[in-house]
Amino acid sequence: MKISAMATNAGVDLVRRMRRNRTTPFIRSLVRETVLRPEDLIQPLFVQAGDGAPEPIASMPGVVRHNVATLAEECRKVADLGIPAVALFPRIDATLKNPTGTHATDSANVLFAAIRAVKKAVPHLTLIVDVALDPYTDHGHDGILDGKGSIENDSTVEALCRLAVAQAEAGADIVAPSDMMDGRVKAIRAALDAAGHRGVGILAYSAKYASAFYGPFRDAVGSGKVSAPLDKRTYQMDPANVREAILEVELDEQEGADMVMVKPAGPYLDVIRAIREATNLPLAAYQVSGEYAQIHAAAKLGWLDYASTRDEALLAIKRAGADMILTYFATEVAEALR
């Protein structure tokens, strides 16, 4: 009792009391190391042909497949909120798909109409367009099959070059190859330059992992059924590896990438940090559909507070080192930040 009383009267002998910097909201704001802004966000959007009402995606609450007209309207809203960019992904009718994904460069591809409509409606909004074949192949893979149970790398790269040039001609500001084929950044850069599109940037999906978190996205673009025995792990990265991700980034940087990306984001914060320390290029991170869906699901069950969990997850991605975050939460977070 005597010792306890002495400690109470004298207090604890501390020079540094960390709690002083946590006393009030204003003090906490003064010492805050990481701040999330609308300017840090990129809103992914889905588009499909036709003029029907936007179609909700069951596994991604609040996310829809737009028609071209409603996509342009949504992009106006995004820009008005101070979000600098959107990333476009098409959903292609199954009847237009084939083993080599030739509809990707067909002039009737809804993606090209969407690019033109968005650039006309919101010219200053940065338009990032996915360069990949999986929305267009009937087997759901990101490339052309070689007949031996694998994706043929070089013929796929040639197809991706044609797609990237077509996207640039339609008005894309940045093309984003997400396929994970070897050498595609160098080839796309050469193809864009040869076609006179030297000002079009490349955001490389440099460290795209073979993740279980992509399921809802595949529902959204209609590429969910991947044919056996092919496995996306033959081209997307092993979730066990970090050093390999750094090498992928180094190669993409050498090949002319203007920006690099880690995908997914939340389960790969260590990879984001490692790449941030390995490159001076702008670094994007993609908070993917499964990350988005699980926050919604847990909040719906009452297990997590929706807004707090959403914001903390995004803040962690930026704290890890991302300069920009692709997230389906972008528009609602920007509204909350206003």
Domain ranges of the chain: 35-337
Checking if the pLDDT of 4 tops 60, the result is: no
Q: For the residues 259-288, what does the mean pLDDT come to?
A: 98
Catalytic residue chosen out of the listed positions 97, 119, 232, 263: 263
Domain with residues 35-337, CATH architecture: Alpha-Beta Barrel (3.20)
Cis peptide before 264 (omega within 30 of 0): yes
Q: Can you tell me the distance from the alpha carbon of 50 to that of 145, in angstroms, rounded to the nearest whole number?
A: 30
**208 an active-site residue?**
yes
Given the residues 119, 208, 232, 318, the one annotated as active site: 208
Beta strands in 33-120 (DSSP E): 41-48, 55-56, 64-66, 85-91
pLDDT over 80 at 2, yes or no = no
pLDDT at 225: 66
C-alpha–C-alpha distance, residues 119 and 126, integer Å: 9
Residue 129: pLDDT over 80: yes
Out of 63-77, 144-158, 223-237, 305-319, pick the least confident: 223-237
pLDDT at 7 over 80: no
Predicted pLDDT of residue 148: 82
What number is the average pLDDT over the span 241-246? Answer: 98
Q: Are 285 and 326 in contact (CB under 8 A)?
A: yes
Structure letter (DSSP) for residue 249: H
Taking a C-beta distance cutoff of 8 angstroms, is the pair 268, 191 a contact?
no
Helix or strand (DSSP H, E) at 204:
strand 201-208
pTM of the model: 0.94
SS3 185: helix
Residue 188 scores a pLDDT above 50: yes
Cα 36-283-155 angle, rounded to 5 deg: 140
Location of structure tokens 């098409």 = 90
Is the per-residue pLDDT at 6 higher than 50?
no
